[in-house]
Structure 1
Amino acid sequence: MLKPLITYIEQQSTSALRESDIALMNEAFIPRKLSKRQFLLQEGDICRYIAFIVKGATRQYTVDEKGNEHILNLCIENWWTSDRESFLREIPSIYNIDAWEETTLLLLPKANDYYYRVNEIPAFQEMRIILDENNHMAAQRRLLTAINFTAEDKYEEMIKSHPDLIKRFPQHIIASYLGMSKETLSRIRSNSIR
């Protein structure tokens, strides 16, 4: 079960994983399976894990007072999901994270100091730095896109940067992620086919 995570870390870092590192990770990470629409995290709960997606897809979202979902993140295999603010500060989350497909995860808990011990592994540290840098750049790009791009340009940017997400999630989820109505996205898609 740990093999996809080991492969991912090895691809992201130049430091080699030692046998003792892998043994620690094997102790620390907890395998978990979620059915479609099963929650990993619900609004109001404290996030206790960071999760590596081995197989499947998740979405992170809020629900407004009218019951509308606002998608913050969509994640698939070899991506991490969590509410880092809730996890690190141990405060109630404002987000929900659920499985969009049957999903297999590896959970790294903060309990028993596993999180801190795993973060001392040089290859894991290097992977985390790269991941943090990439996430920061992606967040800036997404904010710029939200502020400056037309609805058509937002969709085109997503096709270029994340075609795999468009294939995995339905139109109403993609529309919410892009901050537009499903009708607007449907119109854009119809116009692009012509």
Structure 2
Amino acid sequence: MLSVQLFHNFNKYARITEADFGLIEQVLSKKFVKKRRTLLSEGDKSRYIYFVEKGALRSFTVDKDGVEHVIQLAIEEHWIADLYSFVTKAAGNINIEAIEDSEVWLLPHHELELLYEQIPALERYFRQLFQRAYVSLQQRLNLTVSSNAEDRYRQLLQDFPQIAARIPLIYIASFLGITPESLSRIRKQLFQ
């Protein structure tokens, strides 16, 4: 039996019946990913979108100087993917790595497209999920250009307190676009 977590997640934004979920269940596969292991590498074509049932993952790029830049952090009940590659079927430029030992559900692109036709509510779910992701990305970009690092960290704590408590500071700093030393100073000031 698949995750009750995943079934409830689908029903956050759409009405997915148990019969519909049975169809979805037929195309999903589960993967266990050890800490620091890669789920997707830059240059790969992303054939899946991943639902985190347990654990924590990050997506990141690496610049020409070898510096990693965290794009997304995902814990339980979050989706993570290289959406550019997933949608276009082109080689991607994002790496996805487990921060903790993790369990993820893999939903293949081709089967998802077929399921959209069989289960209109699933297309509604993913449309809303992608809309929310786009809005979140716009807000993050806006904060990056219009707010200081302390304000960005405060916003992260407000929006995702569980992520801030579990993810190593080096990844949070990269996600915020600051150095780990700057984040340490900010945390020291905030928690004195």
Which TM-score bucket, shorter chain as reference?
A: over 0.9
- Whether the 8 Å contact between 2:16 and 2:122 is mirrored in structure 1 is no
Question: Retained in 1: the 8 A contact 2:10–2:16?
Answer: no
The list of structure 1 runs, each at least 4 consecutive aligned residues, that deviate by more than 3 angstroms after superposition, is: none
C-alpha RMSD over aligned residues: 1.3
Distance in 1 of aligned mates of 2:21 and 2:190: 48
The one-letter code matched in structure 1 to 2:112 is Y
1:182 and 1:63 mapped to 2: Cα distance? 17
Residue by residue over 1:168-189, the C-alpha shift from the partner in whole angstroms, topping out at 9 and shown as x without a partner, is 1011111000000011011111
- Map residues 126-165 of structure 1 onto 2, 5 A cutoff: 126-165=124-163
Q: How many angstroms apart in 1 are the aligned matches of 2:60 and 2:16?
A: 36
**Aligned ranges 1:17-166 → 2 under 5 Å:** 17-19=17-19, 21-110=20-109, 113-120=110-117, 121-166=119-164
Question: 1:8 Cα deviation (Å)?
Answer: 0.9
Amino acid corresponding to residue 161 of structure 2 in structure 1: P
TM superposition shift of 1:16: 4.0
Q: Residues 28 and 118 of structure 1 are in contact (CA less than 8 Å); yes or no, is this contact kept in structure 2?
A: no
Alignment check: 8 A CA contact 2:51 2:78 kept = yes
For residue 62 of structure 1, give the secondary structure of its aligned residue in structure 2. Answer: strand
Alignment CA distance shift 1:5-1:146 (3 Å)? same
* Residue 2 in structure 1 maps to residue 12 in structure 2: no
Q: Secondary structure at the match of 1:59?
A: strand
Once the 2 structures are TM-superposed, how far is the Cα of residue 55 of structure 1 from its aligned partner? 0.8
Report the 3-state secondary structure (helix = DSSP H, G, I; strand = E; otherwise coil) of the residue aligned with 1:44: coil
| Aligned-residue offset at 1:18 | 4.4
Please say if residues 40 and 95 of structure 2, whose CA atoms lie closer than 8 Å, have aligned partners that are also in contact.
yes
Contact 2:60 2:94 in 1 (8 A): yes
Which stretches in structure 1 are left out of the alignment for 5+ residues?
none
How many equivalent residue pairs? 190
Superposition deviation, residue 152 in structure 1: 1.0
One-letter amino acid of the structure 1 residue matched with residue 135 of structure 2: M
Cα offset for 1:67? Answer: 2.1
1:183 corresponds to which letter in structure 2? E
What are the residue-to-residue correspondences of 1:164-179 with 2, within 5 Å? 164-179=162-177
Distance verdict in 2 for CA 1:159–1:3, change over 3 Å: same
1:89 positional shift: 1.3
Report the TM-score when normalising by structure 1.
0.93
Provide the C-alpha distance between the structure 2 equivalents of 1:77 and 1:18, rounded to a whole number of angstroms. Answer: 21
